[in-house]
């Protein structure tokens, strides 16, 4: 027993995973506290403008990324030759600069049209959203680069910096009662700039970007990976944020603000799901024997039982949580919160079953999962929200998550039988 514990303590991979989970959890906690303070300060109506701009920026982050973060993880993380690493990083930076420029131009050209669609009266909010999304995206990919270069400790500590700054900013504007939405959004989004500067400074001195150089072999390898990663990554960004955008278009600002507020509470469960995935995905990747899968699936059903229990236990405390966090003004969104809590616990249930596809090396599952959820979210919000209002928005997300769980179970059953036979 003690020898096993000692081995675990000496495991570098385990230490790095634990550190990553720690930094992400604390960063998410600080960011969540910042959003809570902002929601209490602004109230549902103004918070709707902030949230729709924030949701749009998150989608833009994924478009800016375009799957390149996954490319860096898979290629740079497994590469030891410095010229090759320089080549890949140079190509990634070159392509991302082009994408960023195109998105920025589109945002500036169509800012008025987007503002009209989202019922935003402040003319500066949309251009500001497109501009402020850029440093966030580049900070995140700089962090991925540090992790791929085995700078886990530095990356983990640096990940905390922007979130702490967000919290301090939110606390400041809350205490002195600054209610200017564009200013708050700017301060919130640009809080990542110090982290971006630090991340670039922490990179090894031998990394030199060669933007004018042509790397044909490396370019081919990058494009082959992007075919699988780009769609899934962009789709996930749209899936997580599109309901706020549709709500702001079809519903009143008050209703959109209620949805945005209660969504931020339910988002805490997504943090749990992410942390769980961070632990399980690398472990399950190494599974090959049927006995390992069978034992793991028993644990997965145990997590399912705990999640179901957690949902029912959380229900009586939901109104108290709303009052203590985002404020009593958002109690009108309690029905929506209950549905979104169900969505959050379903996300936790999906994680262990979805992790098995890393062992099965099934890119098809991740593509199908992204496509299915994206189709349901787009169609549900487009067709039903104008007719049924806020209820349709949250139930669309619930249907999408239930569909994901059923797809996961069905493909897992098929993959398991294909891999190990009918036993």
**Per residue in 297-322, pLDDT tens?**
898 999 999 999 999 999 999 899 88
Distance CA 357, CA 156 (A): 27
Confidence grade of residue 7 (pLDDT, cut at 50, 70, 90): very low
Confidence grade of residue 15 (pLDDT, cut at 50, 70, 90): low
* CB atoms closer than 10 angstroms to residue 292: 14
Rg (CA), the chain: 22
User: pLDDT higher for 214 or 58?
Assistant: 58
Token pair listed for 285:
């990747």
Q: In the chain, what is the greatest distance between 2 CA atoms, to the nearest angstrom? A: 66
Helix H or strand E segment including 208: none
Confidence grade of residue 214 (pLDDT, cut at 50, 70, 90): confident
Distance CA 10, CA 354 (A): 28
Average pLDDT over residues 236-250: 90
pLDDT for res 269? 85
325-to-37, 55, 61, 335, 365 alpha-carbon distances in Å:
8, 20, 27, 17, 37
> Is the model's pLDDT at 281 over the cut of 50?
yes
Q: What is the pTM of this model?
A: 0.84
Confidence grade of residue 210 (pLDDT, cut at 50, 70, 90): confident
Q: Which of the residue ranges 64-68, 92-96, 406-410 has the most confident prediction, judged by mean pLDDT?
A: 406-410
Contacts of 320 (CB under 8 A, 6+ apart): none
Residue closest to 413 by CA, chosen among 286, 303, 300: 300
8-state DSSP, 124: T
> Is the model's pLDDT at 347 over the cut of 90?
yes
pLDDT mean across residues, the chain: 85
> Is the model's pLDDT at 8 over the cut of 60?
no
**Residue listed under structure tokens 């961070």:** 278
> Is the model's pLDDT at 208 over the cut of 60?
yes
> Is the model's pLDDT at 6 over the cut of 70?
no
For the stretch 106-122, pLDDT in tens is: 988 999 899 999 988 88
Contacts of 335 (CB under 8 A, 6+ apart): 391
- 81 three-state secondary structure: coil
* Cβ atoms of 330 and 44 closer than 8 Å: yes
For the stretch 349-385, pLDDT in tens is: 999 998 888 777 777 888 899 899 999 999 999 999 9
Token pair listed for 342:
């169900």
pLDDT for res 271? 78
3-state helix, strand, coil in the chain (%, to 5): 85, 0, 15
pLDDT for res 18? 67
pLDDT for res 11? 47
Our CA angle for 393, 398, 402, nearest 5°, is 150
387-to-95, 152, 239, 254, 256 alpha-carbon distances in Å:
42, 49, 21, 17, 15
> Is the model's pLDDT at 3 over the cut of 50?
no
Token pair listed for 369:
């999962």
Residue closest to 32 by CA, chosen among 174, 166, 127, 214: 166
> Is the model's pLDDT at 184 over the cut of 90?
yes
pLDDT for res 229? 75
pLDDT for res 375? 95
pLDDT for res 344? 92
Lowest mean pLDDT across 279-293, 387-401, 406-420? 279-293
């Amino acid at each position: 027993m003690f020898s096993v514990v000692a081995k675990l303590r000496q495991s570098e991979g385990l230490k790095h995973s634990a550190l990553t989970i720690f930094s992400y959890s604390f960063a998410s906690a600080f960011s969540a506290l910042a959003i809570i303070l902002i929601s209490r300060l602004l109230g549902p109506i103004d918070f709707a403008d902030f949230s729709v701009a924030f949701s749009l920026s998150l989608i833009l982050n994924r478009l800016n990324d375009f799957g390149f973060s996954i490319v860096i993880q898979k290629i740079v993380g497994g590469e030891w030759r410095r010229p090759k690493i320089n080549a890949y990083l140079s190509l990634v930076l070159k392509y991302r600069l082009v994408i960023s420029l195109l998105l920025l131009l589109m945002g500036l050209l169509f800012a008025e049209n987007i503002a009209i669609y989202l019922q935003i009266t402040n003319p500066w909010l949309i251009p500001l959203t497109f501009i402020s999304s850029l440093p966030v995206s580049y900070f995140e990919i700089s962090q991925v680069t540090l992790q791929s270069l085995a700078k886990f400790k530095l990356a983990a500590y640096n990940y905390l910096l922007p979130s702490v700054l967000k919290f301090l900013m939110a606390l400041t504007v809350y205490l002195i009662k600054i209610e200017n939405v564009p200013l708050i959004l700017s301060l919130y989004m640009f809080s990542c700039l110090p982290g971006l500067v630090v991340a670039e400074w922490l990179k090894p001195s031998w990394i030199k970007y060669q933007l004018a150089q042509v790397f044909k072999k490396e370019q081919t390898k990058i494009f082959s990976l992007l075919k699988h990663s780009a769609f899934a990554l962009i789709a996930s960004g749209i899936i997580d944020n599109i309901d706020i955008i549709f709500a702001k278009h079809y519903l009143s600002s008050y209703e959109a603000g209620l949805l945005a507020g209660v969504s931020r509470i339910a988002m805490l469960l997504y943090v749990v799901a992410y942390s769980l995935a961070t632990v399980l995905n690398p472990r399950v990747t190494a599974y090959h024997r049927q006995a390992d899968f069978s034992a793991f699936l028993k644990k997965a059903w145990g997590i399912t039982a705990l999640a179901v229990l957690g949902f029912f236990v959380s229900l009586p405390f939901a109104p108290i949580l709303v009052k203590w966090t985002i404020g009593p003004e958002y109690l009108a969104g309690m029905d929506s919160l209950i549905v979104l809590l169900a969505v959050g616990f379903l996300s936790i249930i999906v994680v262990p079953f979805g992790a098995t596809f890393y062992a099965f090396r099934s890119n098809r599952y991740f593509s199908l999962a992204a496509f299915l959820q994206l189709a349901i979210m787009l169609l549900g919000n487009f067709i039903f929200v104008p007719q049924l209002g806020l209820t349709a928005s949250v139930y669309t997300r619930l249907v999408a998550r239930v569909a994901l769980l059923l797809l996961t179970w069905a493909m897992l059953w098929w993959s398991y039988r294909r891999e190990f036979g009918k036993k």
